[in-house]
Amino acid sequence: MAWHYLNYDITHIFLTFTYMVLGAITVYAWYYRPTSNVSPIQKLFYPILLLGVLVRAVFMLMQPWIRESDLQIPNQANIVMNTLPSFLFFSNYLIVLFIWTEMYLIFNGGSMILVHRLPVIFNLIATLMYVTIIVLYALDFALYPLQYRTVSQFSETVEYIIGYYDGICFIVLALAFAGLGLCLVIKFRRPHQNFTEDKRKIILKRVSLVSLLVVVCFIIRAFITLFAVNRFNLISGNWWWFDGIYFFGFEVVPIAIMLYLLRMNNSNSQSPNHHIHYSTNTKKQDFVKPNEYTQLLHP
């Protein structure tokens, strides 16, 4: 490799390393995950996260060679590699969101019919999201001749739509976490009969920090993504440092923090035997200890 764009190349090699480290953290968290009262949706959390991290690592590793013209792949393929991890990570955030929704409905005395339908709603939303992006990827390959560029760049109508779709998903999830997070914070701000005081404080801290993290990062990423739809050549082509700050600061670090927050105080899981109704989304039984249900806060 000629290294004509040394700063750009080093930045993306550094990002490759950080995503590999994040992948190792994910594998570690997956290995030591809670195994009791885990729903089918929760079982998807770590495999999807690991797949997204690995795809992102491969994308970052390829960029120096593409930039130096030592490797040529269609711009359509590069856009897939660039945007697909975002949608995989959206799935992870959706899983957390639906687990929190289930917990809120149950402890707020919500309709059990709605609680039992949450897995169906999750599957419909996830399916719609993936079908939409797959159709857009297919149209990008089918409607336009293969183009070869030195950076991943939105240049065709379908590619613009992919970029806008990505940005809109960030906004929708940010609003969802803001709304649900606020509801949970209000709910657990005061003592609750089904929780010890220590467990209530743990839940309050987790929900508050994760919600704040997601909302801030997603709003910033939405703004940058929508800006990049029209000026991506400026960002990646001229600002060699941008990808390092953007992906490390707003993707690697938030995911690592989220993994920690959703698993902290895992060992303190024993509490009195108060009983509440339990959802079929998690396990087919009628009652469960509240300490077991709070494990739904960490996949």
pLDDT at res. 110 = 66
Per-residue model confidence (pLDDT) at position 236:
60
- The rounded distance, in Å, linking the Cα atoms of 77 and 65 is 15
Q: Is the pLDDT of residue 233 over 60?
A: no
Q: Are 101 and 119 in contact (CB under 8 A)?
A: no
For the chain, domain boundaries: 6-297
Please check the confidence at residue 248 and state whether its pLDDT lies above 90: yes
Percent of the chain at pLDDT > 90 equals 58
| 161 touches 83 (CB < 8 A) | no
Q: How far apart are CA 62 and CA 60, in angstroms?
A: 5
Give the model confidence (pLDDT) of 161-196 as tens digits. Answer: 999 999 999 999 999 999 999 999 998 888 877 778
- Domain 6-297 CATH assignment equals 1.10.530: no
Q: What is the pLDDT of residues 54-73, one digit of tens each?
A: 999 999 999 999 999 999 99
What letter represents residue 112's amino acid?
M
Helix axes 157-187, 197-238, angle to 10 degrees: 160
Confidence of residue 106 (pLDDT cuts 50, 70, 90): confident
CA 148 – CA 121 distance, rounded (Å)? 40
Q: Are 289 and 274 in contact (CB under 8 A)?
A: yes
